[in-house]
Structure 1
Amino acid sequence: MPDADLLTTAQVCSALGMTPRQIHRLTADGYLEVQQVARNKHGAVKLFSGEQVEAVRQELPRILKKWEIEDGARYGVAAAWRRLANWRTFQRTRSRKERFLNTLSGLPEKSASLLRAAYFLYHLNHYAKAGESYLYELKEKVLAAFSAHFTAEDGLQIYFIPGPARIRLCPDCRRRAQGENRSYLEYARLTGGCPNCRKEEDYFSLYEFLITCDVHRFCFHSPVQIAWKWLKGKEIPQKEGSEREGGYPFGRAIAPGEAAAVNLAEVIAELERFLDAWG
């Protein structure tokens, strides 16, 4: 069990007002040290000393100034333009976030709760894809709660999207692939294997969680191997082809850079509150 005095990346982000990428830079520069590593099935959770984080907080103005000088020397005038672009993105995203959350007050309670969770789940997904893979465990819990407590009436549609089987080639087929100078994956895709090859049906199939209400639209996916246990016994319609995962408040896609304006600690706290209410 991790020490109770240790902080996760999200908690360090909250304490220092920084993004995970900046925490990684603090670690790479030697200002922070990973004290322990906890693990879940999706990845490693790095843990930091609270005392060390506080020491860094007191030194933060000096560290940020040092980074500014280093970035200026490395990137020249582009560094200043990047800072300006990041500031504008932050302001724009904060404004859009406020507008989005304000629109929820006029919706039915369950639809509003679903949309609010979807908004923060989109950002959690972004953080997970940016390297914080341990966050996928929280994503699974939220999607499970969606499937258990919400319906089409609330704005949730779930679809089964069939995918190809995973083929594990038998020794004979592996030899044939080598003889044809093909990779095993390419050979399996071209031939479909033989009766002696092991095939895992639905290995690449997905469940799609589509959340739509008013002008808002969010889309999430979960592999069949994970989501089947939440959806067992439910009649799930089949759909050919999937949407790209994302969030579309006000009818437009949220750009990846905008997600940085929504603090990771806030994202986790919002989703944990959702699970307290619906999990």
Structure 2
Amino acid sequence: MDLYDGYTRERQPSAATLKRWRPVVAGLIAHLGHDDANRITTDDIIGWKEALAGQGVAGRTIREVYLAAAKVVFAWSVENRKISMNPAKDVTVRVPKAIRVRERGFSTVEARTILKASLGRDFGRITDDHARGRRWIPWICAYSGARVGEIAQLRGCDFSMVDGVWALRITPEAGSTKSGSARWVPIHEHLIEQGLLDVVRKAGAGPLFYNPIRARGGSDGNPHSKKVGERLAKWVRELGVNDPHVQPNHAWRHLYKTIARRAGMEPEARDVIQGHAPRSVGEAYGDWPVDVLAKAMAMFPRFEI
């Protein structure tokens, strides 16, 4: 655990990683029956892997959470001469390739079902910020291809006129972003016509889709915005968009890419808008002005409900 603490002090991973990995390290210690990292062998890690599988932990989870955490912490420990070798370095889990029975993005019917429902005015007895999330998050995701968490954490102060274009800023200042970098996303004209900017002005500078004062249980490792996304996913399932092979929030990212391709949007522009990593060193050079991205966004067609 001292090695884990040393790693986190130096590398400062996200709060979500801290929350997820500490129990992993504690679990490894419990499995071994001791906490001396220098005594751990590759056979010990293999035994731990097999024990996790025996407990019903999915192979992908073992590989991408448990072994990933161990490999990173032990690698840091070797680099800093805390231990002599990384016992998890060559241990892996062979996971069968996932079988895809349909496209990963929403179908036209599924997208229309969600967007039409979001326009409804009677959401039952829910808070104003919760209702605002149902009304606007699906539409913003549909017209940006952003991750639902990036939209759920938006604040009023993240909307601004840049280079003559209305845009929203997805930034680590509001909460976690996968890349750790901020980016501007032009606001599609259909969102403006629907009155999104008026809603933002009335809501003020703070979070749009949750109330940090009223909400309970939020933390860096489990932010309120995550809860917003979870509630939204549950609502989408209740609408009948319940195919287990399509994710109720993430499918917007796939659908956006599909529609952008069909519209002829430049690949690099659509990747920048969605926050995907550059595909080459050359693409990482230079910046993408908002007015240039707006020209690309203008190619994205409207959703007809």
- Band of TM-score, shorter chain: under 0.3
Q: Tell me the TM-score normalised to structure 2 length.
A: 0.24
More strand by share: 1
